[in-house]
Every structure is written in structure tokens, then in C-alpha cells.
Amino acid sequence: MPEGDTIFRAARTLDRALRGHIVTHFESVFPHLTRVHDDQSIVGRTVESVTARGKHVLMQLSGGLVLRTHMRMSGTWHIYRSGEPWQKPRPAMRIVIATHEFVAVAFNVHDAQFVEARRLERDSPVGRLGPDLLSVDFNAEEALRRLRTRGHLEIGEALLNQRIMAGIGNVFKSEVLFLCGVLPFTRVADLDEAILRRTIETARAQLAANVLPASGDGIVTYAGLRRTTRRADPAERLWVYGRRGQPCRRCGRLIEGRKQGPDARITYWCPECQHSRQEIARLSAGC
């Protein structure tokens, strides 16, 4: 599933291509979108901006209308020049937004909605999101407060909860907890404030590092390799994610992985470098 950094880059790519341009063609396979188009034509509206909120792409159109899309597991937005052949088959198309110069195509998107801008927070899932880690207005104190209210959750589960903080997915969950030295199966209530703050700060820093201008744009809006290690070799770009059975890049112990949470997402960790609350307390005391 695309995470906050890839959604941010997708929105940035769409915004650069479409902002300020008039929609010349719209189509969709979704009846609930075409009904809106029939009643309030999308053609003739100006694309005012395209932004990201957590894992949602928000296309603001003139007249106070927003197209919200969520990529789920397999959705992507592509950008093409007018007349350029698509890289995916037409049956995978879900939405087309065209201007004179560019054509934006959403492929395999399963969650899409037109909503009035003034009712976006009330009438869409966006209103239920926690603080967006990539927002310039990110509120770390609110994120901390929301984490504390889910004390019963394991920290690995809590980081995937978009109502606590928006933007983290399965890759960053494992990578952030490795960098913080925290065992993913430790309950939030068993971690002190300093560790929780460090986790929030690390998550924000890692996502931000993967949306720098050089981190990738292109026709396929999710292009670009995600990195958390800062290593130049593409084969060494992640610490633990997807590396079960391989040696830890720090200590050499074999990386472990198992399913976690109600969605059974696989969590990866190093049994030597990451610790539970009791282990953290022992290490801090110098025992």
C-alpha cells in the first residue's frame, strides 16, 4: 500500500501538471462520480490545487468541489501528455481528468469521492485523520495525546492507525521502530513520553526525507526508491523491512518478521537492536 511519502509525491506531480489548467475532459467508471459530472459538469472547471492528506489525494476544483481518492493497495495516478499512450490497459482505468496539455489517469483506484470543499472535514474520511506527519502544520502534541489514548495497542499497531497520525504505512512502521530501538509488540502504555516523542519525531523526519525534490516525480506518480538508511546502494536502502532471515545491518543478528494486528500486516524487527519497556529500562540503568 502506498504510504504518506508516495502519496505526497503523487499529489506534487499532479499539482505541477494540472494546477491552473481547465478540465477539458472527464470520465469515470464510478456511477457516483459520473452522476456529479452530469449534474455539475467537471469540464470547464479549473484545477486549483492537488494536495495530500495522509494517504488521500485531494484535487481542488473551481466551484468549491474536491475529488478525493485513496489508493488502497494497488491504486496509482499516472500523468501523460495529450495523445501519449497509457502504460496500463484501459480496463484498469477508473478516472480520467484531462486538460489541453496533460491527462491524469487513476488506475485501479477503489475509493473515490466528489465532496464540497466546505464539507470535506465532515463528509469524508479526511475529517477523521490524525495530524498529518508531512503537513507544515503538524501538531506533535496532538499526535502524542492521541497515542496515549490508545495505550492498550502495541506500538506497531498504533503507528498504522491513521486516526492517531496520518501517513505511516507498514514500511515506515518497521523502519521507524528499528531506528528508535523499540520492540514493535510493546504496548503504548508501557513506553514513556520520551520514547513516544522520539518515535513521532523519527517518523516525521523519515517521511520528510523521502519527499525531497530529488526523491522522485514522473509519469507514474509513485516512482522513486524509499530510503531510511541514507546509503547510496539501492540494495541497502532499508534497515529491516522485507529482510526477514537476513543479517541486521548494525549487529548481524538475523532480522525477524511476523504478522501483527487485526489486519495481519507483517512487522520486521531486529531482536538485538530493539527492546521492550523492561529492556529499555534495564539498558538505561546500565545493567
% of the chain beyond a pLDDT of 70: 88
The SS3 of residue 188 is: helix
**Could you state, in order of their start, the residue ranges of all structural domains in the chain?**
4-128, 140-215+225-284
Helix (H) or strand (E) run with residue 247 in it: none
Q: In whole numbers, what is the pLDDT of the chain averaged over residues?
A: 89
Give the DSSP per-residue string, 43-108.
Answer: TT-BEEEEEEETTEEEEEETTTEEEEEE-TTT-EEEEEETTPPPSS-GGGEEEEEE-SSEEEEEES
User: Has domain 4-128 been given CATH number 2.40.280.10?
Assistant: no
Rounded CA separation 14/106 (Å)? 11
* pLDDT classification of 216: cutoffs 50, 70, 90: very low
* pLDDT classification of 1: cutoffs 50, 70, 90: low
Give residue-wise pLDDT tens across range 106-136.
999 989 999 999 999 998 999 999 999 999 8
Span 226-232, mean pLDDT? 69
Structure confidence at residue 282 (pLDDT): 54
Give residue-wise pLDDT tens across range 7-37.
888 899 999 999 999 999 999 999 999 999 9
| Residues with catalytic function | 2-3, 55, 265
Give residue-wise pLDDT tens across range 274-286.
987 656 555 444 4
Rounded CA separation 130/226 (Å)? 23
* Per-residue pLDDT at 141 exceeds 50: yes
User: Has domain 140-215+225-284 been given CATH number 1.10.8.50?
Assistant: yes
Structure confidence at residue 160 (pLDDT): 95
List Cβ neighbours of 131 (8 Å cut-off, separation of 6 or more): 138, 139, 140, 142, 143, 146, 165, 166
